Amino acid sequence: MASPETTSLEATRTRLTFELKRKLDSFREALLSVGEEAGTAEGLEELLAAVRAAAGPSVEVTVLRQRGTGAADVLCRLREGEGPQVELRVAVIGNVDAGKSTLISVLTSHQLDDGRGSARRKIFRHEHEQDTGRTSSISQLSMCFSSSGKCMNDEGSHRSVLTEELVNGASKILTLVDLCGHERYLRTTCFGLTGHLPEYAMVLVGANAGLVGMCREHLGIVLALHIPAFFVVTKIDFSPEEVTRATMADLTAVLKKPGVRKRPFIVRTLDDVYSAASNMATDTIAPIFLVSSVDGRGLDRLRLFLNLLPQRIEWGLKEKLPAEFVIDEIFVVPGVGTVVAGTLTAGTLSETSKLMLGPDPGDGLFKAVQIRSIHYKRCPATLVVAGQAAALALKKIKRNSVRKGMVLCSPALSPAAAWEFDAEIAILTHSSTIAVRYQAVVHAGVVRQTAVIVSMSVDLLRSGDRAQVRFRFLLRPEYVQAGSRFIFREGRTKGIGLVVNPPTAT
């Protein structure tokens, strides 16, 4: 008869094997806590051997840390070349002058800032951004990680622009989406938070300024969209200690408010990093990092946290669905033609894929198109899978026939555009009342268009009220799916909503 210890280890082995397979199938990586039930070094080694055997040769198993003698945190990730890269998008938000662009540049290039903006100048896209130091457009920079968790961006070369060597040699690619902090560019920030499909939000707070201006507005938007957020308090080298303490007190007080309900968790050690990353997807805690882009304090802990962040969406399972690609950017390449950039939200794409493009700006219909070539992270690719962002060159498609908000999808989906959709909405803030014929800009995924309320389940809506309403787009029909979350704004954000019924084409 087997002893209780043997039976417990056998049950643990079975559980770990099942959990590992489920996470690899769904997320292409797994962060496991191994050995709590073992209690001894021998039991831990036996469980680690079982994990390695279940993972197989295509998966690298890395012990991140050991807790005492009988427990360990283990990272299991597909080796380079054994499958598609894990891609994770993190939106970087916060008030103007919080240091968003500077931090992104420092994280991706490993070159510290000089305190006068040398880092941010490397990633600005426009001349007026260089002149003012303020981001006005959406830019994306990526961090490449190996299967063992090593950051590959800089091994002596100080580069933030990805090369084909880096992309092909990476097992995980984390994309930082740099969004605007100035109120003038709020609509661009809203488009980034909805259209670029970030799985997490990194909220930057200047230690010298606190939670001011648009930072609170941005935080309200990510809470409304149910995007888990973590916080980075920057400029700790510049801010006096008593001011930094006041900023931290204000931030923790905001996180504990009834409308937020997050547990502040200040990350001070490597153990804190592992704990924060393991619990981040639950959206119950709010990790807080204190960093400096000038002297480098806290950056290693932040990089490790970004490496360990788990995916929230089960992209691995979505690969089996019909293809759907949402378009968030269009440009023309000389000698190639029209190129659309965006995110593959389901299925897989190759140059032989048969797709429908729509809704057409003229008639709202979906039309057959062919892919000329595919680029992933600015490198040629033959295949992209669900969860990855890519650029597709289209055959015989003119630039003026494509716009942001359109989609490429499989004919099996029978796609159709809709003028109207039903939704459950909640009003966040409004100075007066909302009634039928109220107009607002709706941000639903890559869709951004003014819509009018044509019917409501109540007569009037005020701040804090909820209702079922029907929206109608004013300019053109859009591709909107049931279950999509959206925000609507009139200037600043006024409300949030959820599409509840299949949209109607009338």
Q: Which domain holds residue 238?
A: 86-312
- Distance between CA 79 and CA 8 in Å, rounded? 31
Q: Whole-prediction pTM value?
A: 0.93
Which CATH number fits the domain that encloses residue 67?
3.30.1370
- Is residue 505 included in any domain, yes or no? no
**Local structure of 287: helix, strand or coil:** strand
Instruction: Tell me: do 372 and 265 sit in the same domain.
Output: no
- Distance between CA 434 and CA 135 in Å, rounded? 33
- Is residue 177 included in any domain, yes or no? yes
Give Cα 90 to chain centroid, integer Å: 4
Q: Tokens 């499958």, residue?
A: 83
Instruction: Tell me: do 465 and 477 sit in the same domain.
Output: yes
Residue ending a domain, choose from 363, 384, 413:
413
- Distance between CA 417 and CA 422 in Å, rounded? 14
**Local structure of 300: helix, strand or coil:** helix
**Local structure of 136: helix, strand or coil:** coil
Per-residue pLDDT at 4? 55
> Quick one: which H or E segment has residue 279?
helix 270-279
Instruction: Tell me: do 42 and 162 sit in the same domain.
Output: no
Residue ending a domain, choose from 78, 100, 126:
78
DSSP, res 117? S
- Distance between CA 178 and CA 140 in Å, rounded? 6
> Quick one: which H or E segment has residue 86?
strand 86-94
Which CATH number fits the domain that encloses residue 99?
3.40.50.300
- Is residue 157 included in any domain, yes or no? yes
Sheet architecture: strand order including 139-145: 139-145, 172-178, 86-94, 200-206, 229-234, 285-290, 263-266
Per-residue pLDDT at 159? 46
- Is residue 403 included in any domain, yes or no? yes
Instruction: Tell me: do 125 and 191 sit in the same domain.
Output: yes
Instruction: Tell me: do 262 and 326 sit in the same domain.
Output: no
Sheet architecture: strand order including 29-34: 29-34, 71-78, 59-67
- Is residue 225 included in any domain, yes or no? yes
Instruction: Tell me: do 65 and 155 sit in the same domain.
Output: no
Measured CA distances, 374 to 201, 386, 461 (Å): 28, 14, 47
> Quick one: which H or E segment has residue 247?
helix 241-255
**Local structure of 38: helix, strand or coil:** coil
- Distance between CA 236 and CA 99 in Å, rounded? 11
Residue ending a domain, choose from 413, 438, 467:
413
Instruction: Tell me: do 409 and 424 sit in the same domain.
Output: no
Contact 177, 141 (CB under 8 A): no
Instruction: Tell me: do 268 and 375 sit in the same domain.
Output: no
Per-residue pLDDT at 431? 82
Instruction: Tell me: do 447 and 404 sit in the same domain.
Output: no
Which CATH number fits the domain that encloses residue 343?
2.40.30.10
Instruction: Tell me: do 192 and 328 sit in the same domain.
Output: no
Helix, strand, coil proportions of the chain in percent (round to 5)?
A: 25, 35, 40
Could you give the angle at the alpha carbon of 190 between the alpha carbons of 84 and 209, nearest 5°? 105
Instruction: Tell me: do 9 and 117 sit in the same domain.
Output: no
Per-residue pLDDT at 430? 82
Instruction: Tell me: do 369 and 323 sit in the same domain.
Output: yes
How many domains does one find in the chain? 4
- Is residue 506 included in any domain, yes or no? no
pLDDT tens for the chain, 506 residues long, are 455 556 677 888 888 999 999 999 999 899 998 876 666 788 888 889 999 999 999 999 999 888 877 788 899 999 988 888 999 999 999 999 899 999 999 999 888 998 888 888 888 877 877 777 778 889 899 999 999 999 888 644 444 567 788 888 899 999 999 999 988 899 999 999 999 999 999 999 999 999 988 999 999 999 999 999 999 999 999 899 999 999 999 999 999 998 888 999 999 999 999 989 988 988 889 999 999 999 999 999 999 999 999 999 999 999 999 999 999 999 999 999 999 999 999 999 999 999 999 999 888 899 999 999 999 998 999 999 999 999 999 999 999 999 999 999 999 999 999 999 999 999 988 888 999 999 999 999 999 999 999 999 999 999 999 999 999 999 999 999 999 999 999 888 789 999 998 776 65
Give Cα 72 to chain centroid, integer Å: 28
Give Cα 176 to chain centroid, integer Å: 8
Per-residue pLDDT at 70? 77
